Chains A and B, each alone.
Chain A
Amino acid sequence: MTVAIIAGVLYVGLAQYDFDFMRVITPSVEMPRLGAPSFNFVSYVVEGYNPLTLQVFVKFQVDIEVEGSIPVTLVEFRGEAYCADHGVKLGDFYLTSNVTINGSGRYEFPIAISLTPQGVDHVRRNHLVSSDGGDVVEVRVEVPEVKARLMVGSVNITIPASSGLVTTVRFTIPEEGFP
């Protein structure tokens, strides 16, 4: 009886696939592609400044293009910033709250920058230009490496040190100061 059941079901089942054995043993779903995402910086907004702790709170807007739609949560993003021209440490930065990336789109990254007293002093002495609209800061910032931690499902992904970047930061300090 067992043989009859096996033979019958196999015959009917294989007939559905035109007796193409490769189709019968091939999984029905394609593996999701794991392409590297591309980032495109859009803008940033300075949201606050604490003169006692020398902390600046900035929200960065970034366009992200990523293949597939696997939700990825950025839980840690930190590094150190230096003046690219003089090598003085300006401060540390870190992500203040988790950001979940679910497919391509524009995302906001809330970042806190803890400035060092020597960094503030260095910017004041070397990178502050007074103008009619207020004091303008223009400094080339170097971030030698970035440490990041992501969560996909309950998998913890640690990127111990990512290659750094050099970017020019330019902003005007309003006369009334930061909000």
Chain B
Amino acid sequence: MTSTTSPRPWRNPLTLATTATGVASGVLVVWLAALASEWWRINFGDIVTVSLSPFDYEVMLLNQVTSVPLIDLVVLISRIIAMVAGVLLIISAVKPLNRWSKKLIEYSWSKIPSYFVVIILIALIMTAIVSKSTSVIEAIVRNWFPVESIVANGEMFFTGSMTLTVTAHYSQQLVILDIPVTASFGSSFYVAIVTTALCGAYRVLSYVAAKRFSKASAQGQAKV
């Protein structure tokens, strides 16, 4: 086999791009999991604050941090999986056309995109409940507070601000609470968008590079 017929994948620009994308996405995945800072946050009048990321969460209730052990375990699992996936992405990027790399890529590329979808869905559901289905909040709050009605003034879609007007009877007294609600994405969310794009790009590039390499190999063998 001559040098003109050999594909020499490690010198191929496509392979180099695949490697670079793989390393970058792997580093970002590890960085996101290690940092574990919030991707999305919703605040109810500085009384209840929920900060979410796939790797950590925080529920502040009147300046007291509350946690559920099961959710602690779930985010820990997700963190470990992401760390492993990030490291595997970096390892796979060293020789993205190898057979073992393919398996590593298949396992690890989709982790952050999946988490991204989960957080988006949670944010969507929570903002939809706050904006549209205040009866759900009524049912939850009634456990602690004799709420008569909750009316949403304004709408939210992932982010934004609005006010919930709560009417309640407290100690035989009519009480009206105006609760400002704000939701926002954290800076890590934007890093997650980039990481999701890089993971997707890495998957596509590695697939395309593998196809081209196998095609070139087949052609080279045919010539020989």
The A contact surface, by secondary structure, is mixed
Encode contact with B along A23-67: 1 for CB under 8 Å, 0 otherwise: 111111101101010000000000000000000000000000000
Q: Which residues of B contact A31 (CB under 8 A)?
A: 61, 144
Instruction: State whether A155 and B179 are in contact (beta carbons under 8 Å apart), knowing that A29-B65, A160-B174, A162-B173 are contacts in the complex.
Output: yes
Query: What's the least CB distance linking A27 to chain B, in Å?
Result: 5
Cross-chain contact of B76 among A9, A27, A156, A158 (Cβ < 8 A): A9
Known contacts A24-B69, A26-B68, A160-B176, then 6 further A-B pairs from the complex at CB < 8 Å, ordered by chain A residue = A27-B59, A27-B66, A29-B64, A29-B67, A34-B170, A158-B178
B163 to chain A: closest residue by CB: A156
Cross-chain contact of A28 among B66, B73, B179 (Cβ < 8 A): B66
Chain-A contact segment, one of B6-14, B77-85, B91-99, B196-204: B77-85
Q: Which residues of B contact A169 (CB under 8 A)?
A: none
Contact, CB under 8 Å: B175 / A9? no
Q: Which residues of A contact B170 (CB under 8 A)?
A: 34, 36
Contact, CB under 8 Å: A10 / B176? no
Query: What's the least CB distance linking B167 to chain A, in Å?
Result: 10
Q: Which residues of A contact B179 (CB under 8 A)?
A: 155
The B contact surface, by secondary structure, is mixed
B137 CB within 8 Å of chain A: no
Q: Which residues of A contact B68 (CB under 8 A)?
A: 24-28
Cross-chain contact of B81 among A2, A154, A156, A157 (Cβ < 8 A): A2
Instruction: State whether A156 and B77 are in contact (beta carbons under 8 Å apart), knowing that A17-B69, A27-B68, A70-B62 are contacts in the complex.
Output: no
The interface of chain A, by Cβ under 8 A from chain B, is 1-2, 5-6, 9-10, 13-14, 17, 23-29, 31-32, 34, 36, 70, 152-163
> In the assembly, what is the distance between CA of A153 and CA of B48, in Å?
10
Q: List 8 A-B contacts (CB under 8 A).
A: A24-B68, A26-B68, A31-B144, A32-B64, A70-B62, A155-B45, A155-B178, A157-B178
| B146-194 CB contacts (< 8 Å) to partner A | 170-171, 173-180
